[in-house]
Structure 1
Amino acid sequence: MSAKQAEPIMPGRAVFAAQDNVSRETLAAFDIWFNLLTRWNASINLVQKTSLEQFWTRHAADSWQITDYIPDGTLRAIDLGSGGGFPGLAVGIWLKTQGKGGVKLVEAAGKKASFLRTAAREMDLPVNVAAKRAESLPNDPYNVITARAFAPLPKLLTYAERFTGPDTRLILLKGRQAPTEIKQARTDFDFNCDIFPSISDPEGHVLVLSDLRHRQIGTP
């Protein structure tokens, strides 16, 4: 056995808590979220059971990283296909720390929507849950649009278009196919796009889109 002992591996929660932008209040909210998710996931498939064991690294850190890209002064956000709350509830936690603003979570599945309402209430978040399909909601611009594992980018932008205004920023969590999806999406849409590496997935990306608009027919 080597005389040099290996450094202890920090549990996922400790790694998440050690981030500079995670306050005691933020960590407490994520603890509530994790406990609720664990209980509800026994009867509702909110996340894969195997991934629940990686809540802090795979879900918490993945969702919380998008708050680095939310513009100051954001008052209205919308999260598409919220599921177990990733990343929409994280946006709600962040807005609460700012002391202003709110986020709408769009989730068509009734039981998942019930979970989101319960989680938002237990964490006392500025969250409104719409138990509807995104395409059934009225056209209404938001400051920020978020989504994770909702749909391939071309389809996602079709849903998101109705919620965009001149200054809307889309912050999207994507996997290794992100460059391909961006190329495909440019067939029907024009947009500015910055790509950042994910802190939770070596093959993941955070896409920050702005100036989203439908391409005019005949535009090269």
Structure 2
Amino acid sequence: MTELRSPTRPARTIAVPDLAADRDRALALTPVSRETLARLDRFIALLFDWQARMNLVAPSTLPQVWTRHVADSLQLLALAPEARIWADLGSGAGFPGIVLACALADTKRAEVHLVESIAKKAAFLATAIAETGVAATVHHMRIEDFVRHDEVRPDVVTARALAPLPRLLELTAPLLQKGAQGLFPKGQDVEAELTEAAKYWTLQSSFAPSLTSPESRILVVHKAVWRH
């Protein structure tokens, strides 16, 4: 085990597990180019460095960071292969936003917009963009404020572990109504969330299987109309 020490809090360290096997499993599920892998390696190293100072992801998930977080993010690309403008709401530790940006870095006119209201996490995201050299922008603001503006019209909007579906649709509706497709990774409670959302929304949606968890699925929202 390697020890990383926080530069701002010398007394605290974080044990970095051997990630090689988990990395190999993730890449088998979601292969990437050599250039993308180099960017992802830099991002994961930075994640562990900052994790020593702040809780970016659940510590229990760190030994499986590649399969649990990286591959889980990368699998979204296959569901919208022509998309160029992505918006990731509540980006937090950069999943899926930074991971998507790493994969799209060599794609012309591709850009990722990361929306994060917590200042420390927004600072981490900005550092990750600088370290990896990807085409992405951090919007340090509330999601409600971001979706209200017309400056960004994404092809796809993503949100991972952000909110139950009814609330998630409230947040993303302005973008969905402008033509964005929603890609929302969901766990085993997605059917109950969908039933609750159907009380208020008329949805055109479908499911895609998750490559990383048999209990999870990706909800693909093509259209959402509020039933007044």
Letter in 1 for 2:101: G
Q: Give the alignment partner of residue 156 of structure 1, picking from 168, 173, 183.
A: 168
Moved more, 151-160 or 179-188: 179-188
Q: Give the alignment partner of residue 125 of structure 1, picking from 118, 134, 151.
A: 134
TM-score (norm 2): 0.85
Letter in 1 for 2:26: F
Deviations 1:173-211 (A, max 9, x none): 110011111111122212211112211112111111112
What is aligned with 2:215? 203
Counterpart contact for 1:16–1:22, Cα < 8 Å? no
2:66 and 2:47 mapped to 1: Cα distance? 12
Matched, 1:23 2:33: yes
1:146 and 1:184 mapped to 2: Cα distance? 20
What is aligned with 2:125? 116
Counterpart contact for 2:205–2:223, Cα < 8 Å? no
**Over aligned residues, Cα RMSD in angstroms?**
1.6
1:29 and 1:18 mapped to 2: Cα distance? 17
1:162 and 1:87 mapped to 2: Cα distance? 21
2:53 and 2:215 mapped to 1: Cα distance? 31
Counterpart contact for 2:188–2:216, Cα < 8 Å? yes
1:20 and 1:30 mapped to 2: Cα distance? 13
What is aligned with 2:108? 99
Question: Unpaired segments of 5 or more residues in structure 2?
Answer: 1-19
Aligned residues: 206
Matched, 1:55 2:45: no
Counterpart contact for 1:66–1:171, Cα < 8 Å? yes
Distance apart, 1:149 and its partner CA: 0.2
- Counting only pairs closer than 5 Å after superposition, residues 137-156 of structure 1 correspond to structure 2 as 137=146, 138-140=148-150, 141-156=153-168
Distance apart, 1:16 and its partner CA: 2.2
SS of aligned partner of 2:68: helix
TM-score (norm 1): 0.88
Check 1:165–1:71 CA distance in 2 against 1; reply closer, same or farther (3 A cut): farther
What is aligned with 1:14? 24
Deviations 1:114-153 (A, max 9, x none): 0001101111111110111101223434210001000001
What is aligned with 1:173? 185
